[in-house]
Chains A and B, each alone.
Chain A
Amino acid sequence: MQITTPAFRENSVRALNDPQLQKALGNVEKGFVAKRAAAKAALPEFEALRDQARAIKTHTLAHLDLYLEAYEAKVKTAGGHVHWAESAEEARRIILDICRKAKARTVTKGKSMITEEINLNDYLAENGIEPVETDLGEYIIQLRQEHPSHIIAPAIHLNKEQVEEDFRRVHTHLPETRDLSEPVALLSEARAVLRERYFAADVGITGANFLIAETGSSVIVTNEGNGDLTQTLGKVHVVVASIEKVVPTLEDCAGILRLLARSATGQDMSVYTTFSTGPRRAEDPDGPGEYHVVLIDNGRTAMLGSEFEEMLRCIRCGACMNHCPVYHAVGGHAYGSVYPGPMGAVLTPSLNGIRIAGHLPNASTFCGRCESVCPMKIPLPKMMRHWREREFEKHLAPAASRYGLGIWAFFARRPTLYRLASRLGIRLLALLGGEKRRLSRLPLAGGWTDHRDLPAPEGESFVAAFNRSRGA
C-alpha cells in the first residue's frame, strides 16, 4: 500500500468529518471494549497469564536464532520447505516463484497482515496471478480496493449499507429483489461466491499467529473457517510469517492462545484454531501437496537489542487500538500505514523510518490505556516516547515546537527569571480573562482556542503567595 503517514493531519481531519466513518467507529468503542472486559473478568488467572506470556516471548526473543533453526529443522522433517527472506522484496519474489512453479492462476488468501506489509496482492496481480481474499472483511475491502483499517477487523470502518452497495456493484448476478439488508445475508452471499474460488485456486496463502519450534507447526486463528479452506484445498500451502512469530513449545502457544482471543474480541477462543504441520501425508484424506514457510525479517532483527525490541512480543490482537481514544476518533486509515493504532505507532517507524512515520508516535495523549490492556504488556507509550527522542535528536520535530520548547526550557531552568516572567504573563492573562475568567481567543494559541476557551489564571503565583503569607 501507499504509505500516507506524512499526511496524518490531513487524513485525520478528513476522517473526523466523515459521518459514515464516525458511525462505524462507534462499533469499535461499543463492541470490543466491553467484550474484552467481560472475558478478562471471567478468567481469574488473566493477569498471571499476561506475565507468563510476556516471559515466554521475552525468552524466545533472547534466543530467537536457536528457536528459528529448531523450527526450520522440524518443518523439513515434516516434509515442508522453509524460505528465509530478509526484505519485503525478497519475500515477494520467493512467493511468486512458488506460485509460478505451481502454475498458479489464482491464489486464495487467509487474513494476514504480513502480506499487507510486503504488499503481496499488488505484486501477484502485476505478475498475472489473481489473489482472492477469503476473510469476509478482507474480501469486502478487496472489492473496494482498500487496505485494512484494523488488524483484526479490516472492514471495521464500513457500515453494512456500504457493503451491500459494493456487493450489488460487483456481484452482477444478484437479482435486485435479493434482500441483503442483514449482515448474515451478506455473509452467505460472500460465502457462495468464495466457495467457487477455493476450488479453483492453485495455491493457498495464510499468515501465522504462531510458529512452534517444538513441532514445526504453524497456527492460525479465524472465526470463519476460511483459513482452513484456503490452506487445505489448494495444491500448495504457503505460510507467510515474520520471524518473531516463533514460540518454543505447543504449551507456550496454548498459554498465549488463552490471551489472544480474549484480548482481541472477548471470545474465550476464536471459532477455529488450526495447526498445520507439513504437507499431506500418504495416509491423510486431504491437505496440500506442498507446504512452504516464508520467514520474513523486514526490519525485525534491527529491532532486537534496541529500545524497540519489546514490540516484537506483539501478537496482533488489536486490543491497543480497540482502547485508543485517538484510534476511536480517526480510525485506522488516517494513520496511512499498514499497522494503525498504538502498535502501529511504534512499529511503523521501525518499518518505514521515523522521517516518514514521525506523526504516528506523536499523535498520542500517552493515556496509557493501550499498555494497560496489552496481553503482552508492551510499554507502548514508552516506545512512542523513544521515537520522539530519535526524532528530536535528528532535528526532525517541527521548528515551531522546538523553538517554543527551547524558550520554555530556558526559563524553567532559571527559577528566579521564571518567577519574574510568569508573574507578568499570568497578570496579563487574568486581566484579559476579565469577569468571565476565560479567553475565547489568544494570539499564537489557536491550537487551544480554536476548539475551547482558555481558563484564565487567578492572577497570582501560588508559590509566591504562599511564601508571602507565611512570612518566609
Chain B
Amino acid sequence: MTMNESRNPEGPRIGLFATCLVDLFRPSVGFSAVKLLEEAGCRVEVPMAQTCCGQPAYNSGDRADARDLARQVITVFEGFDYVVAPSGSCAAMLKVHYPELFEGDAVWKKRAEAFAEKVFELVSFLVDIRKLERVSARLDGSVTYHDSCSGLRELGIAAQPRALLGSVEGLALKEMKDSDVCCGFGGTFCVKYSDISNAIVSKKMANIDASGADLLLAGDMGCLMNMAGKLKREGSSVAVRHVAEVLAGMTEQPPIAGTTPKGGR
C-alpha cells in the first residue's frame, strides 16, 4: 500500500495526467494538484508512462500521430476511476477530441468515449465532482484570473476557479477586462505567427497591468508561460502562477519566469 492509499483508503482512484508542460516546466503545479486531490479525499497516482496528450500533432493536422498518442494515454489511464489534468486544454483534448479522433474506428471510439467520461480538468473536478466549496489556503494580495480558451469554451470552466479563489484567506480577486479573450498562445500558433501572437499577448498584458493585481493566475501552463514571458520581457512587476499553486497554498516556489525587481528587466 502506498502512502496516498493509506491516506484515503476509500476515496476514488485518480490517474493524474500531469501534462507535458507541468511535468517538464512546473512540477510545483503537479504537487499542488496532488495535494488538492488528496485533501478532497482522493487517492492519486501519477503513471510513469505518460508523455503528452497529442495536441501538437492533432492541431497540426497529423491525425496518425495524434491517434497513436491517444491510444497510449487511454491504455495507461483507462483503469482509473477518474483522470484529472491541471489544464483545460489537455483535459479537453482527452475528453472532447479523443472520441472525435476515432471516427470510423468502432472499437477505439467506444474506448475513447468511455475514457472521456472519466476525464476532468483539476479545478472543475474539485468543485463539480468532489463538491469542494472551499480550500484551506492563504494568500495576502490581489490576483486576477485569465480564462484559458479551451477550459472556458470546451469545458465550461469559469465559475469553479473563482469560487475556490473566493475561499482563499487574504486574497482579493481583481477581474481584468476581457479575461475571456485569448492570450495569443494557441500552441504552435505562437511560434508560427509570432508577430500576431505578440500583438494579442500585448493587449492581454495591458489588461493584466490595468487590473492592478499583483498576481496573474490561470489554469493552463501554455497560456501562463506565454503571458509570463511577455510580462517579464516588458518589465511588468505582476507575478504569474498556476491557479492550483494558490489553491493548494503551495507558493514557496518562485513564480513562473521568476520575479522582476521594480523598474528592471
B258 within 8 A of A: yes
Given contacts A388-B60, A415-B50, contact A452 B230 (CB under 8 A): yes
When distances are taken between beta carbons in the complex, the residues of chain A under 8 Å from B23 are 422, 461-463
B18 within 8 A of A: yes
Given contacts A365-B200, A447-B190, contact A325 B184 (CB under 8 A): yes
| CB nearest neighbor in B for A454 | B229
Q: How far is the CA of A391 from the CA of B192 in the complex (A)?
A: 15
- Whether the Cβ atoms of A471 and B2 lie closer than 8 Å is yes
Q: Mark A75-105, 1 if CB is under 8 A from B, else 0.
A: 0000000000000000000000000000000
- Whether the Cβ atoms of B182 and A369 lie closer than 8 Å is yes
Contact of B31 among A369, A454, A462 (CB under 8 A): A462
- Whether the Cβ atoms of A426 and B25 lie closer than 8 Å is yes
| CB nearest neighbor in A for B258 | A437
- Whether the Cβ atoms of A413 and B154 lie closer than 8 Å is no
Interface residues of A in 314-347 (CB under 8 A from B): 325-326, 328-330
A368 within 8 A of B: yes
| CB nearest neighbor in B for A457 | B25
Q: How far is the CA of A358 from the CA of B2 in the complex (A)?
A: 52
When distances are taken between beta carbons in the complex, the residues of chain B under 8 Å from A392 are 60-63
A389 within 8 A of B: yes
A372 within 8 A of B: yes
Q: Mark B240-253, 1 if CB is under 8 A from A, else 0.
A: 00000000000001
Range, interface on chain A: 35 or more
B10 within 8 A of A: no
Q: How far is the CA of A362 from the CA of B256 in the complex (A)?
A: 28
- Whether the Cβ atoms of B188 and A461 lie closer than 8 Å is no
- Whether the Cβ atoms of B233 and A12 lie closer than 8 Å is no
When distances are taken between beta carbons in the complex, the residues of chain A under 8 Å from B153 are 367-369, 371-372
| CB nearest neighbor in A for B76 | A415
A366 within 8 A of B: yes
Stretch at the interface among A48-56, A134-142, A404-412: A404-412
- How far does the Cβ of B258 sit from chain A's closest Cβ, in whole Å? 3
Given contacts A413-B69, A470-B2, contact A366 B232 (CB under 8 A): no
- Whether the Cβ atoms of A457 and B196 lie closer than 8 Å is no
- Whether the Cβ atoms of A466 and B233 lie closer than 8 Å is no
- How far does the Cβ of A391 sit from chain B's closest Cβ, in whole Å? 6
- Whether the Cβ atoms of B51 and A458 lie closer than 8 Å is no
B22 within 8 A of A: yes
When distances are taken between beta carbons in the complex, the residues of chain A under 8 Å from B154 are 368
Contact of B257 among A326, A365, A437 (CB under 8 A): A437
A-B contact number at CB 8 A? 227
Q: Mark B11-28, 1 if CB is under 8 A from A, else 0.
A: 000000010101111111
When distances are taken between beta carbons in the complex, the residues of chain B under 8 Å from A458 are 25-28, 253
Range, interface on chain B: 35 or more
- Whether the Cβ atoms of B256 and A455 lie closer than 8 Å is yes
- Whether the Cβ atoms of A388 and B25 lie closer than 8 Å is no
When distances are taken between beta carbons in the complex, the residues of chain B under 8 Å from A223 are none
Interface residues of B in 45-65 (CB under 8 A from A): 46-52, 54, 56-63, 65
| CB nearest neighbor in B for A9 | B193
Q: How far is the CA of A450 from the CA of B229 in the complex (A)?
A: 11
Q: How far is the CA of A472 from the CA of B2 in the complex (A)?
A: 8
Q: How far is the CA of A325 from the CA of B186 in the complex (A)?
A: 11
Given contacts A412-B54, A426-B25, contact A438 B150 (CB under 8 A): no
- Whether the Cβ atoms of B59 and A455 lie closer than 8 Å is no
When distances are taken between beta carbons in the complex, the residues of chain B under 8 Å from A451 are 194-195, 197-198, 201, 230, 233
- Whether the Cβ atoms of B56 and A363 lie closer than 8 Å is no
- How far does the Cβ of B227 sit from chain A's closest Cβ, in whole Å? 9
Q: How far is the CA of A351 from the CA of B251 in the complex (A)?
A: 53
When distances are taken between beta carbons in the complex, the residues of chain A under 8 Å from B237 are none
Q: How far is the CA of A379 from the CA of B195 in the complex (A)?
A: 26
- Whether the Cβ atoms of A455 and B257 lie closer than 8 Å is yes
B228 within 8 A of A: yes
- Whether the Cβ atoms of B192 and A326 lie closer than 8 Å is no
- Whether the Cβ atoms of A426 and B69 lie closer than 8 Å is no
B167 within 8 A of A: no
- Whether the Cβ atoms of A463 and B50 lie closer than 8 Å is yes
A197 within 8 A of B: no
Given contacts A368-B153, A452-B230, contact A329 B199 (CB under 8 A): yes
Given contact pairs A366-B187, A437-B258, A451-B201, a sample of 5 additional A-B residue pairs in the complex whose CB atoms are under 8 Å apart:
A329-B199, A364-B189, A411-B51, A426-B24, A471-B2
Which positions in A face B, CB cutoff 8 Å? 9, 12-13, 16, 325-326, 328-330, 362-369, 371-372, 382, 385, 387-393, 397, 401, 405, 408-409, 411-413, 415, 418-419, 422, 425-426, 433, 435-438, 440, 445-448, 450-458, 460-467, 470-472
10 sampled A-B residue pairs with Cβ under 8 A: A12-B193, A16-B199, A326-B200, A365-B186, A368-B153, A389-B63, A425-B24, A451-B195, A462-B24, A470-B2
